[in-house]
Amino acid sequence: MRIITAVQASELDQKSMEDYGISGIDLMGAAGKEIAENVKTIVAEIHDPRIIIICGKGNNGGDGFATAAWLDKYSVQIFTSVDKELIKSDSAHFHNVCVEKDITIHYSENPPIDFECDLVIDALLGTGCKGELKDDIVKWTMWMNALHCIVLAVDCPTGINGNNGMAASHSVKAGKTITMGFPKLGLIMKQGQDHTGKIKTVDIGFPNIIDDLSGLKWSRFEESDISDLLSKIETDTYKHQQGKVLLIAGSKGMTGAAVLSTFGSLRSGAGLTITCAPESIEDIYEKTIIEGMTIGCPDDGNGFLISDSFEIIKDKIQWCDAIVIGPGLGRSPNTIKMVKKVVLNANKPLIIDADALCFFQRKLENFNKIKTPFIITPHEGEFCNLLKITREEYIKSFPDIVEKFMINFPGVLVLKNAPTITYYNDKAIVNSSGNPGMATAGMGDILAGILGTFVSQGMDCFQAAQAGVYIHGLAADNKVIEKGQRGLIASDLLDELPKVLHAFE
C-alpha cells in the first residue's frame, strides 16, 4: 500500500491542479462527497443523528464545508472560529454553498456549553500541524475530546504531524480518519497511531502521479506482501542448502545477545550456524547453543573479542552465506578494530547491528568502503549517534533527515522504531506488524538473526529486511494474543517464529 507524507500531499494537490487542470473545487467537492458517504454509514443506525462539523480556515475546513453540503438532508451544524471574511478560495465556495442550503453555521471563538451530538467531524487543521497547537485551537480540540460521541477526523486528526506522527498536546483523538488519495505517513507513525482510529482512504480523483512526487517513495508492508518473498522448502534439500550463518556476537555480561541472535537465525530456518565466542567464556556458548556450532576466538581476557580474533573469523567468512555482527559485542577500541577488519574484508552479505555500528559513528564514509551488500539495523538512538544529532533534532527533521542520509548510503537501512521502517535507495517501507510489548531487551538480537537467515537463503538484502522485520513483528503480535504485552520477553518469540513461517508456506 502506497503512503505519502504531508509535504507530498500538498505537492499532489498542486500538481493535480497546475499540471492536470483539475480544479481545487472539484477535489474538495469529491472529498466532501466521500466523507459524507462514510458519515451516512456511521450514523445509519442512529435515529435523527445530530452531526456537527468543526471547520478551520484552510483547505481542511473547506473539506468540512463540502461535507456539510452533501449532508444537507441531515441535522448538521457547523462551528468555526474563523470570521467569514477570512474564509477564502475553494473553502469560501463551499462555505457559500452551505449558506445557500440554509445549513446552520456558528461563528464563535469558543465552543458551545452543554452541547450534545452523535458525531463530530474534525476539519480544523488536517495535515497542517507542525508543532504545538495555538490556544484558540486547543479550546476546540479539548472540547471535541470531551464529547461523548463518535469523532471523525478529515485527512488527519488536528494536532498530529502528518510527516512524523508526533502529537501536540490536546490533539484530537479520533475513532476514524478519512484520508484523501493516500494514507499520510503521520497517521501510522508514533503517537499518530493512537489518535487516528480506523483509517479509511478514499479516491477523490487524483491523477496517477505518486511516483512523480519529490522525496522518498513510501509504502506499507502488509501480510499480502510476504508470500512473494518466502519460498517453499524443496523436498530434497539438506542443511547446507538452507543457509549458513556466521554470527559474531556477545561478550562477558552480554552472552544472551549472542544466544538470542543465534536462535533467531535457527528458528527462522537457517541450516547451519557458527557463533564466534570470546575464548575465555566459550563454555557458556557451548552449553547454551546446542543446535548451533561455536568457535572460540582470542579475547582480551575479560570476555571481549579483539583485533586478533579476525584470524579465526576470516576462515569462517569463506564458509558462510551471510554474516551477522554486533549484538552484545561491546564497544572497546580493540573490539571495534575487529569489527573494522570484518566489515571491510567481508565478501559475504553483512547484517551490521548494535555495537558494530560504533565503527561508523562520525565516519559515515566507512559505509562506502564495504565491498558486499549489507544491512544496518540501528534503533532511533543509534541512528542519531551515527549522524551526530540529538533525538529532538531527528524528530523535528524527519523524514528529511533520513532522505538526506540515503542519498550517499549504499546499503539497506532498517530503522527500528514504532513502526520500523526499511530504506533502500529512494524507497521507504513501513512495517505493519509489531506492538509495544517488543520494547524490551533482546528483540533486536533476534531480528538480526532472522535477517541473517533470510539473506543466507538467497533473498537480497532489501527483500530480507522487509520480510524479516514483518515476520519478527508478527511473531510478537501472535505471542501477545497469548501472553499480553506486559512482561513479553525476547525469547518468547523463538518458539513462535516457526509457526509464523509455517503459516505462509
* Full DSSP string of 112-159: PSS---SEEEEES-GGG--SSPPHHHHHHHHHHHHSSSEEEEESS-TT
Cβ neighbors of 440 (< 8 A, separation 6 or more) are 488, 489, 490
pLDDT at 228: 87
Residues of the chain falling short of pLDDT 50:
none
pLDDT at 237: 87
CA distances for 277 relative to 262, 320, 346, 403, angstroms: 12, 16, 19, 37
Question: What was the pLDDT predicted at 235?
Answer: 84
Give the chain's radius of gyration (CA, Å).
26
Helix (H, G, I), strand (E, B) or coil at 71: coil
Contact (CB, 8 A) for 212 and 234: no
Spatial distance between the Cα atoms of 502 and 505, rounded to a whole number of angstroms: 5
- Amino acid identity, position 14: Q
Phi and psi angles of residue 405, each rounded to the nearest 5 degrees, phi first: -60, -40
**Collapsing DSSP states into helix, strand and coil, what is residue 249?**
coil
Residue 322 pairs in a beta bridge with: 245
User: Could you give the domains of the chain?
Assistant: 23-213 (3.40.50.10260), 225-502 (3.40.1190.20)
Sequence-distant (≥ 6) Cβ neighbours of residue 123 within 8 angstroms: 53, 54, 55, 56, 60, 61, 63, 64, 65, 67, 154
Q: Judge whether 472 and 496 are in contact, CB under 8 Å.
A: no
Q: What is the pLDDT of residue 238?
A: 87
Contact 223, 410 (CB under 8 A): no
What pLDDT, on a 0 to 100 scale, did the predictor assign at position 236?
A: 84
Q: Convert the pLDDT of each residue in 82-97 to its tens digit.
A: 999 899 999 999 999 9
Note the pLDDT tens digit of each residue in 201-212.
Answer: 999 999 999 999
Angle at 269 between CA 263 and CA 272, to 5 degrees: 70
The contacts of residue 430 (CB under 8 Å, 6+ apart) are 3, 185, 188, 189, 218, 219, 220, 221, 419, 421
pLDDT in tens, 245-286: 999 999 999 999 999 999 999 999 999 999 999 999 999 999
C-alpha cell belonging to residue 334: 580493540
Residues 6+ apart with CB under 8 A from 202: 31, 34, 35, 38, 178, 179, 180, 181
pTM confidence score: 0.96
Detail the DSSP E strand segments found in 310-456.
Answer: 322-325, 350-352, 374-376, 412-415, 421-424, 427-431
**Nearest of 295, 307, 312 to residue 335 by alpha carbon:** 307
Burial of 485 (0-12, 13-18, 19+ CB in 10 A): middle
Report whether 232 contacts 457 (CB < 8 A).
no
Quote the DSSP letter at residue 301.
S
DSSP 86-97: G--HHHHHHHHH
